[in-house]
Amino acid sequence: MPDTMATFPLSSTGEDDSGVSAALLTGRQERCATITPMASIIPEGSLAIGIQLPIQSQSKFYVEPWEEGAGSEELADVCRKADEVGLFYVAVCDHVAVPRANAERMQTTWYDTIATLGWIAGLTKSVRLLSHVFVVPYRHPLQTAKAFATLDELSAGRAILGVGAGHVEGEFDLLGVDFGNRGALTDEAIDAIRIALDDEWPEFHGETWNADGESGLRPRPRQEHLPIWIGGSSKPALRRAATRGDGWLPQGTPRDKMPADIQYLREHRADAGLGEEPIDIGTIAEPFYVGEPDWDVGSYATTGPADKITASLLDFHAMGVNHVQVRFRNRSLSELLDQLDAFKEEVMPHLPNP
């Protein structure tokens, strides 16, 4: 596998603030003054560990060869193992249909987010269920709110709504959504989704979507405040996380740039009057292999004894990160399950687990 795997694709590549109207900016300011209090779901001082699940998305940036012949049985084994070893979350991606122009790199296997997370809810007991990330401009905010409220009820309060602006222009075109306006659409969608998650009879009036307060949505989320984590590493995504997010999900920010991005996010959060509100700050670690591999795992992977991998994770924690998405190099389902067991036994005892 090529060393390009060391750099993960950004889900909001090229996103900017163009097309955001003055009215919407005013709405942002009004919302900051009246926003539902933010909520952290990770205990203070802890470092939560999650994984993006294999098989359900098969971009060549990260897919292992064995995944391409795998299906629901293998995915179920990984989900159960993640639950068993005490991971904080499992994550599922979101693409509706990948254009042919992108398919060579991305491939076309991308399981439906909601169907997959709902299925996982029935397989597991405690691990949280994260969309990483749900492209909210693709759908009416009421559809998104209804789906995740239902998921939260069915999973006994384990849903995390990770959202992003999207990055595949051809997919936007296919779905009839304005790619150039995706930043404004994402902001409007997040605000409307939050209203619908907090109020059975949502009312909102935006430039694209409206609800009149006369139509109700049940089931309600099991959590009092279903967390919304904002994905992306661009400056607009950071500002969005600062003003609208319960958490931040970077999409490939290099380790050496994380402190500056965290500072940027916190400064904008304070400027929005939300400096005292908690936020769960995440990152994606380099691939790991617990122990000494007898095969080429790539120069970008961190391998070796538990203390070396622990040090890598604690370095993120010292920056202010409190949840890390990990990935293990592996050649088969059994090797991946073994890596998860080794991580539980050799690394997790040395982390400040939630």
pTM of the model: 0.92
Contacts of 256 (CB under 8 A, 6+ apart): none
- Please count the other Cβ atoms lying within 10 Å of the Cβ belonging to residue 49: 24
Residues 314 and 351 sit within 8 Å (Cβ to Cβ): yes
Q: Could you give all domains of the chain from N- to C-terminal order, each with its CATH number? A: 3-350 (3.20.20.30)
Quickly tell me which residue has 């006369």 as its tokens: 214
Question: Tens-digit pLDDT profile for the chain (354 aa)?
Answer: 333 333 323 333 445 543 333 333 334 334 443 446 789 999 999 999 999 999 999 999 999 999 999 999 999 999 999 999 999 999 999 999 999 999 999 999 999 999 999 999 999 999 999 999 999 999 999 999 999 999 999 999 999 999 999 999 999 999 999 999 999 999 999 999 999 999 999 999 999 999 999 999 999 999 999 999 999 999 999 999 999 999 999 998 999 999 999 999 999 999 999 999 999 999 999 999 999 999 999 999 999 999 999 999 999 999 999 999 999 999 999 999 999 999 999 999 999 999
Give CA–CA dist 94/150, Å, rounded. Answer: 18
Residues 69 and 63 sit within 8 Å (Cβ to Cβ): no
| Token pair listed for 19 | 């097309």
* Structure confidence at residue 283 (pLDDT): 98
